[in-house]
Amino acid sequence: MKKLLFIAFFLTLSSGFAVEDLNQSSEPDSPDEYWLGIAYANGIDVEQNKTKAAMFFKIAGLLGHGPSQRNLGIMHGLGDGVAMDCIQAFAWLLIAQINKDTVAPLALEDLAEDMNASEISAGRELASDILSAVIASREIK
């Protein structure tokens, strides 16, 4: 599992942007927090800090950004910058998959191979809770 998750994470962090200019993007609608996450994950113009990267991916993920949701899920699956937590990983990857991220289904399938039914159920419940909180916060505004 870890090998596929690592490869997926590496490919998603190293594709889709020019290292020398994060503003020149193939994803122009991505939130700034996503690009800050990419910068901190890779040490681009800042000191590499995976914990900060995860924080920015979570902020962008809560805004509904699929690649950020996927990256956060993979980071939880690997314990990269955050605690290794298969339930958190499953939840964020499931949300990314719902959000039509193309890498998330592969990572989710790989992750689920090493999870039991109780963990998968907890991951689904957490994903539902996260989505409910996001929807509720949007209704308040």
How confident is the model over 4-54, as pLDDT tens digits? 555 555 545 544 443 434 444 456 689 999 999 999 999 999 999 999 999
Domain count, the chain: 1
Domain for residue 53, yes or no? yes
CA distance 123 to 102: 19
pTM of the predicted model as reported, rounded to 2 decimal places: 0.82
Longest dimension (CA), the chain: 44
Instruction: Tell me which residue has tokens 């998330």.
Output: 104
Domain CATH for 124? 1.25.40.10
| Domain housing 47 | 2-16+28-140
**Coil vs helix vs strand at 64:** coil
Whole-angstrom Cα distance, residue 47 to residue 65? 24
Tell me the average pLDDT across 116-124. 98
> In this structure, is residue 21 part of a structural domain?
no
pLDDT of 47: 97
Burial zone of 52 (CB within 10 Å; 0-12 exposed, 13-18 middle, 19+ buried): middle
- Please give the average per-residue pLDDT across 74-100, as a whole number: 96
